[in-house]
Chains A and B, each alone.
Chain A
Amino acid sequence: MIYMQDISKCYQMGSEKVHALNQVSFNIEDGEYVAIIGPSGSGKSTLMNIIGCLDIQDSGTYKLAGEDVSRYSSRKLAKLRSTHIGFIFQGFNLLGKLNALENVELPLIYQGVSRKLRRQRAEQVLESVGLADRMKHRPSELSGGQQQRVAIARALVSNPRLILADEPTGNLDTTTGNEIMDLFAKLHAQNNTIVLITHDQGIAKRAERSLQIVDGKIQHETYNGRDD
């Protein structure tokens, strides 16, 4: 699913060059549940942006499902994002003026799915994350956990091959965070490929495998072993 070889990304901060990612290499297989763990500023979000085709590396090779995306046009990348990748952000990133259902429908709008199908699919996904009774609520009328569920529903609505979550529990209390993590476990059980970014060891443990990243480099890899 994901093939990364010697990926580097630099940012120019004034006169100083920041190596956000420094020669990162790893693979993620279809159906895997991988956590990327590291302290703040270690380059996790930068890595996620590259995996999610929101940004392009300075050097190295990145292949998503066997395709070298660094040569894609912005239009093709947008298409790829809407059909293949589901994003879940730390700050939920829902559109405040749209209700839960409309937020979830959005990716399908950009894919050109018909209104009827869109609505059907969005309702179905919202039900599956346990928000059947909150569809017409705006984000401001929902709790943090509910908002994150809407965001997850939005990520799932187009049946992506890859779910990318950047600190999905970062803004939630422990109980709600655990509920969200249970949801991820369920998604994994349904054979979704999940990349989870976190700075929390406890959260990372719930994935099959964790990649530890420090100062833009993969330090080591841990297999948490399957429960079964």
Chain B
Amino acid sequence: MKSNYKVSVSLWTLTVKEIRRFLRIWVQTLVPPAVTMSLYFVIFGSLIGPRIGSMDGFDYIQYMIPGLIMLSVITNSYNNVVSSFYSVKFQKSIEELLISPMPNWAILLGFVLGGVARGVLIGFIVFGVSLIFYPEFTVANPLLTITVLLLTAILFSLMGFINAVFADSFDDISIIPTFILTPLIYLGGVFYSINILPDIWRSISMANPMLYVVNTFREGMLGASDVSISFSLGMICAFIAILTGACLYFLKKGTGIRQ
């Protein structure tokens, strides 16, 4: 009982610290996505969008909104955890956690909650921006939308954590986001429906995990998707379970944090 209380205090401390960190540097963390997404909405939504016409029966700008929210949520949850955990490692302040009686799962959860908080907050900011450009937007299925939002933020926070565990330099924390994550998201149906692709590319796209995340979210927001929702949700949950297991294993072994 006493020790449960202590663990919850330590978890709370870490989570608050993580949230404070990205709020303190809000110019680097909260403003850029709002600016970038405004540009996307102006250029692809308002200027080019009308020439594209409709996508899966929606205005192009409307179709883009869920995709851009997902893009922001994924990159921000990932980046938050990878940069925070790596800098804690780099500055050795990880020792403050390792020396304390805090269990590994609470350490992981603290960092993940930090990533989720940033991802979700950015999600709402981008949605807010999109309403400026497309005020008539209504969310088709709020429950599914929120569920996918949270699951996605958790999933990519975990991935960021693993990236940081193995990172040995600041280069290592940008290689995966730049060369793997971003291309997969852009090709994962953020800007288009895979129905417009030739057969071969459509089949290849089906192997891209981002496609499922983006489309499930689009189903929540618009009620339209290129993939099966229950399958996607199942896969997202399975990945979360596997990655959680991996993170806990690395923490227990001390990979990258204990010599």
Bind each other: no
Using a CB–CB cutoff of 8 Å, the interface residues on chain B facing chain A are none
Using a CB–CB cutoff of 8 Å, the interface residues on chain A facing chain B are none
